[in-house]
Structure 1
Amino acid sequence: MDRGDDALVAQLYDVCRSSDAVSRVNQFDYTPEEYAANLRWSFPGEHDVLLAARDGGTVLGYAQVWFPERDNLDKTWFELFVHPEHRRQGVGSALVERVERVVRDEGRSLALPEAFVPPGHRDDAPAARFAARHGYEVADTEVVRSLRLPVDAAVLDRFEASAREAMGEAYRLEVHRGGVPEPLRAGLCAVSNRLALDAPSGDIEFEAESMTPDDYQQLLEHERSLQRERLTALAIEVATGDVVAYTDLVLPHGDPTFVFQWGTLVMPEHRGHRLGMAVKVANLRALAGLDPARRTVRTMNAEDNPWMVGINVDLGFEVVEEALMLRKDL
């Protein structure tokens, strides 16, 4: 499909928004311009394929399939959306069949979509039943949590104090807006690339990712084109100057009340010093100063990751959704 076709992209946007409206819990808002810019951009080191089911000139549903090019070369990820008015007519099934054909043609053996379901409905939600009918098994479950803002200052004070006591003088904290400075980017990439490797992922084995400082710069430029803000909190080992922990908050332009909590990781050899809590508290404080109108932070973690889940629960995150990490061997 021609992603430069504004009329076509507008239809895809409508399908995506309409699908999420009936399938997701408390989804965030984004503008048609943000959607189009994301659809037309590829992260360095991967490519994607866009597949649509159409009746004449009307898009009924579509799938977007991502293929990493430097790591995890046996895997592919995809998302699938069907407009509510055209469900139960075989559109989703036809798209799944086409996706699997494309995945095989690319020489990949493992398809990894995800399905979001209301809490407690892992088996009976429509998305879960649809996946099971097409041979997809649940490899892992991530729990989506939401934090109401602003966070009570006394809560942040308490956890900041406990984290600083555990850190001692061995580490310092920094918070950066719009990306970290160039001297720290190689260190940040090294920590971030471990996220797929270290985060619990059920019965799927991942390789470390391969983001470079140049890739990171392209990501920041893309986010600036979307008018997004990024806050990155780092823990740095004083003795070496190495980045040993990080966390990201991303503020979308199209929803002035919403914040994404993206990656958080502490390097294995530096765990046990409350660095995960320290960087999250530092970022939440920076967020309150930068944009106090934001009202919600959304995050998701594997349910078998008690360390990060514990931090989020302590900070006040509440369960709103479950994400079924699905797999099918092709």
Structure 2
Amino acid sequence: MDIIPLDHDDDVMLKELFGVATRSESVSRVQPIQRTEEEFLKMVRFQFPGERQEGAVAVVDGSPVGWALVFFPERDNLDKCWSHVEVDPQHRRQGVGSALVEWLEERARAAGREMLLAEVFVPVGDRQSHADREFALQRGFSVSSVEIVRSLPLPVEPQVMDHHERRAAEAMGDAYELSVYVDGVPHELRQGVCDASNRLILDAPTGDVEFEPESMTVEDYQTMLDHQRDTGRTVITAVAVHRETGVVAAYTDLSVPTGDPHVVFQWGTLVLPEHRGHRLGMAVKVANLRELARLAPERRSVQTMNDEQNPWMVQINKDLGFAIIEEALTMKKSFLAG
């Protein structure tokens, strides 16, 4: 077995890795994400501004059997890096995963990072015994937090939507203006959305790992929109603006992919601390779901993730009808750089 650098320009290799990733996810996730080959290639090749990506491929007899990616933030959280590893099911328990993890640690140390982070998805009830968790623990990782993956069947019952929309409107009064946009908010709202998104990592529980606010700019936001459009995804964003100050007090995003015609992904949702208590989180989520029903009525579910220590957002999701389908363990490995 050889570990070679990932060549983002090698179409043949990337198409083979698409097969590896698809087969790996089919046995590793309760609801595997469906992607087209074109989506996969564009996703792997995209590098978000302010973040550097490196990759490696495990090759046996000339064919890829596993791969790893490591993401280095370059503007904030400079002591950390995120990682992703996948091994073809038929080549597991043969040292492929261990070799890729060793490569990840080497790259993290070379970049002067002190913490390597990863996610392990497990069925409900298996967080203490799942093989992927044990694999990480045996290599020096520990569980830092647990997110619950939930799925909302679509369409949502009209009376459920009406009830929560009415309660949110009563709590908001005339202090906030609610609006929904497709493929990006207007330019006058973009800085506010970026500000809210950048503090999401601060306000959402993250276990025993502390983060700095992120640093997405208005220019980065446009880059993200361009990438989503290039991959055929539609982004739906609802915002609540405080009328008196013009501040974006709350926002939420939905991503509608092309590769899977049935699912929609819930991205970030945030209510600024000084504007909480007005049911803004519920308001923006309901507004987005109504636009989703209009735009893509064929979709059958929305998938989301929330830390189990986030009772406010968890309750909103439960009230809307989200049901637990699996758990995501955030694993960390700390080491001295160098």
**Runs ≥4 in structure 1, deviation > 6 angstroms?**
none
User: The residue matched to 1:33 in structure 2 has which SS?
Assistant: helix
Q: Distance in 2 between matches of 1:22 and 1:202?
A: 27
Q: Answer yes or no: is 1:162 the counterpart of 2:180.
A: no
Residue type at the aligned position of 1:206:
F
RMSD between aligned residues = 0.6
* Residue segments in structure 2 that go unaligned for 5+ positions in a row: 1-5
**How many residues were matched structurally?**
330
Deviation digits for residues 229-279 of structure 1 (CA, Å, limit 9, x no counterpart) = 000000000111111100000000111111000000000000010000000
Q: Give % identity.
A: 55
Q: 2:320 matched to which residue of 1?
A: 315
In structure 1, runs of 5+ residues without a counterpart are none
CA distance in structure 2 between the aligned counterparts of 1:310 and 1:2, rounded to whole angstroms: 44
Alignment check: 8 A CA contact 2:25 2:33 kept: no
Structure 2 residue 110 is matched with structure 1 residue 98:
no
Pairing partner for 2:246 from 241, 246, 263: 241
Spell out the pairing of 1:175-324 with structure 2 (5 A cutoff): 175-324=180-329
Deviations 1:85-118 (A, max 9, x none): 1000011011111110110000000000010000
Structure 1: distance between partners of 2:164 and 2:33:
28
C-alpha distance in 2 between matches for 1:165 and 1:27: 39
- Once the two structures are TM-superposed, the CA of residue 26 in structure 1 deviates from its matched residue by 1.2
Question: Residues of 2 paired with 1:237 and 1:31: CA distance?
Answer: 40
Q: Does 1:325 align with 2:334?
A: no
Separation in structure 2 between the aligned mates of residue 53 and residue 115 of structure 1, nearest angstrom: 20
Q: Tell me the residue number matched to 2:3.
A: none
- Provide Cα deviations, 1:23-57, integer angstroms capped at 9, x if missing partner: 11011211000000010110010011101111132
Contact preservation (8 Å) 2:53, 2:70: yes
Q: Distance in 1 between matches of 2:243 and 2:270?
A: 18
1:303 offset after TM fit, Å? 0.1
TM-score by length of 2: 0.97
How many angstroms apart in 2 are the aligned matches of 1:227 and 1:252? 7
Q: CA deviation at 1:2?
A: 1.8
Task: Name the stretch that deviates more: 51-60 or 130-139.
Answer: 51-60
2:129 matched to 1:124?
yes
> Using the alignment, how far apart are the partners of 1:57 and 1:10 within structure 2?
14
Task: Give the match for residue 74 of structure 1.
Answer: 79
Match of 1:53 in 2: 58
C-alpha contact (below 8 Å) 2:127/2:133 kept by paired residues: yes
Matched residues in 1 for 2:29 and 2:280: separation?
A: 32
* 8 Å Cα contact 2:141/2:333 also seen in 1: yes
